[in-house]
Structure 1
Amino acid sequence: MNKTRIAVAGAGIIGRAHIDVLLNSPTCALAAIVDPSPAAEALATRCGVPLFASLAELNAADRPDAVVLATPNALHVPQALACLAAGLPVLVEKPIAPTVAEAETLVRRAEDSGIPVLVGHHRAHSPIMAKARDVIASGQLGRLVGVMGSATFYKPDHYFVDGPWRSQPGGGPILINLIHEVHNLRMLCGEIVAVQAFSSNAVRGFAVEDTVVINLRFASGALGSFFLSDTAACARSWEQTSQENKAYPSHDDEDCYVLTGTNGSLSVPTMRLKTYPRPEDRSWWKPFEAGTVGMVRDDPLKHQMEHFGRVARGEEAPLVSARDGLNNLRVTEAIVEAAARGCAVALA
């Protein structure tokens, strides 16, 4: 088959990750790199593809089949709108937009145009997440009661020196990191209908949060609690437990989610499962039947790119649509509001 030609806009950390996946894809090919920075020239030369300073230059010279936008958050909406205007399917990195209002504009345009937009919540393509959803759907846990989750890690000082915007409003772990967790929690537990939160910047003293604790209510009636911090030296985060991103050391004895139901619990990503063998005789005085759910580990970015190729070819609908990206952003904005106001915030 002829490979689907995909251009990548943005040659930063996540852009380079998409480029590496494309260079090794059996069905997609890297068509070009779009980035005005001097460093991008060497990368394009190494990859053997043309470099363009803008999407307009790309479309005028060498129109691809689709585009990946791995650019700064503030550029996501205008660049995605430009791709839609050119009739190009687009993969927009998370968050879909800096604000809900901007995201709503993109969602309307995408749905009106019929041109597919895939949002880069890559954990939606994780085999671990797929298996966890299967366990919940199977009924082994009984009725879902709630989830306890965490994303705790320590970002070094140079992370903020290299990107000063990360120490300013909009650059904290709620928008950068928590939005991944929100999508995971929605996949596992359903829609989030209300949130409460406390936030703190006591450790670093930046103009943005470094630690947040969150309570969640799901449409099913299940409840959740979540601890987020980018200044907590703790390995209970997806990156440090899933083994999906080799840039992070792995701690295979840790979990970042524990899902509990009326008949048992599942810890993710170790996939340790504890259930009562006889639901009619369940009690905290009775022992659990304990085991580990079998599953495979594989790079979700690779699966996401193969899916995007099928989306661009019209073979599949986006697994994470523009509206999904908007709904994730609504939850993060509600969490920011709840922390600022000190009260529960309901989501429509």
Structure 2
Amino acid sequence: MSIRFAVFGLNQGSKIARDAVANPELDLVAVAGFGQQAEDVAAELDVPLFEDYNVLLKEVPLDAVAIALPNGLHVQSTRACLDAGIRNILLEKPIANTVEDAEKIIAMCEEEGATLLIGHHRRSSTKYLFLREFIESGRLGDLVGVQGTYAIAKPHAYYDVEWHTKKGGGPLLINAIHDVDDLNYTTGLTVKRVYAASRNSIRGNEIEDSVSVLYEFAEGPTATYFISDGTPGPWNYDLSACENHFFKWSPGENSLHFFGTKGSLGFPNMDFYSYEEGHFGWGEPLVKEHFELEKNDPMTAELEHFVDLCTGREKTPRCTGEDGLATLKVINAILESAERKQIVDID
């Protein structure tokens, strides 16, 4: 029996809608959105388009929904879906703009017994699944530090969209939130303190265009992170992993480095450096071990995971509401630290 499915929002949601049509267990019965892109996607997929998702909910019976609307609409759209009897919700990242809104979403889904999957799709990447297992294996030894980079140049036309120039539309909430969630997921560590310095010197918009961050983890390790969406560079996961069809060129660079007492790993190139048993120190030759992985499409894999949740084949979402909230708290702490120019502790 097919799962009657709808997608709200056809910017990010267009990929979900196309994947849904290709999934034999999903029946994409409607989509919600407005504007030329929404009309084109609906026509391409031959599915009814509703400008108002509330009308869709009244007229179309559904088993599951993907919400890819602006963050500020997540609370009310989740509430509307629950009121319509839907108990399987894929909610795009970030879970919300504020901790309060995120807590509302988590609480209402728990009260209704609904399954909530937050769309941090990299948790479904074969690369990140491998990285999580590698760190857990102990081959790094004790993790001491992490160095992360997201340096990329978005096209000038990207900023013709007004909300991309306003508070909440910068690379921290759009891009860095992925990198923060990646660390949360793969290391299992808890960020307890951040210090951030941000600048808008590249474009002069209201939002940041470069940020440097220092993390302290409750368990002891530290991490540094630099992000800019106005600097040409290959040191970012999107280009290096080449998992997204939008990015067609892979420079072969790493976006993350993990440093441990037994070795260090470059990611996503998967080059591991350590010493032979009984040898240690800079006068000794390093042994390089390279890992080859089969690449997948994380967003497609995420939707397949969502189907498994809907059917009961899997019980636990890879990214729960609580996971999404933990990531949001770190991003909000970075924004607060940069604005106040102070260290910010995270509860």
TM range (shorter): over 0.9
Q: How many residues align?
A: 344
Aligned match of 1:96: 95
**More displaced stretch, 123-132 vs 184-193:** 184-193
Q: Is 1:293 aligned to residue 299 of structure 2? A: no
Partner secondary structure for residue 20 of structure 2: helix
Q: Does structure 1 retain, via aligned residues, the 8 Å contact 2:4–2:64?
A: yes
Q: Does structure 1 retain, via aligned residues, the 8 Å contact 2:195–2:214?
A: yes
Deviations 1:268-287 (A, max 9, x none): 11101111221x53212211
* 1:127-276 paired onto structure 2 within 5 Å: 127-161=126-160, 163-189=161-187, 190-276=189-275
Query: How many Å separate the matches in 1 of 2:266 and 2:42?
Result: 42
Q: Normalising by the residue count of structure 2, what TM-score does the alignment of the two structures yield?
A: 0.95
Q: Does structure 2 retain, via aligned residues, the 8 Å contact 1:242–1:250?
A: no
**More displaced stretch, 288-297 vs 259-268:** 288-297
Q: CA deviation at 1:238?
A: 1.0
Among residues 16, 38, 41, which one is paired with 1:40 in the alignment? 38
Q: Does structure 1 retain, via aligned residues, the 8 Å contact 2:234–2:251?
A: no
Amino acid at match of 2:301: H
Query: How many Å separate the matches in 2 of 1:294 and 1:212?
Result: 32
Query: How many Å separate the matches in 1 of 2:79 and 2:14?
Result: 23
Aligned match of 1:309: 307
**More displaced stretch, 95-104 vs 280-289:** 280-289
Among residues 32, 48, 54, which one is paired with 2:52 in the alignment? 54
Query: How many Å separate the matches in 2 of 1:289 and 1:320?
Result: 35
Query: How many Å separate the matches in 2 of 1:333 and 1:298?
Result: 31
Q: Does structure 2 retain, via aligned residues, the 8 Å contact 1:87–1:115?
A: no
Amino acid at match of 1:120: G
Counterparts in 2 of 1:219 and 1:296: CA distance versus 1, 3 Å = farther
Q: CA deviation at 1:29?
A: 2.9
Counterparts in 2 of 1:172 and 1:304: CA distance versus 1, 3 Å = same
Q: Does structure 1 retain, via aligned residues, the 8 Å contact 2:4–2:61?
A: no
Among residues 59, 73, 76, which one is paired with 2:74 in the alignment? 76
Aligned match of 2:279: 281
Amino acid at match of 1:286: E
Query: How many Å separate the matches in 2 of 1:38 and 1:294?
Result: 41
Partner secondary structure for residue 281 of structure 1: coil
Q: Normalising by the residue count of structure 1, what TM-score does the alignment of the two structures yield?
A: 0.95
Partner secondary structure for residue 148 of structure 2: strand
Query: How many Å separate the matches in 2 of 1:313 and 1:268?
Result: 34
Could you list the runs of 5+ residues in structure 2 that have no partner in the other structure? none
Structure 1 residue ranges (4+ consecutive) displaced by more than 4 angstroms after TM superposition = none
Aligned match of 2:346: 347
Query: How many Å separate the matches in 1 of 2:198 and 2:136?
Result: 33
Deviations 1:8-54 (A, max 9, x none): 11111x11111121121232232211114354334323212222222
Deviations 1:200-258 (A, max 9, x none): 00111111110000011122211100000001111111110001012113334200001
Could you list the runs of 5+ residues in structure 1 that have no partner in the other structure? none
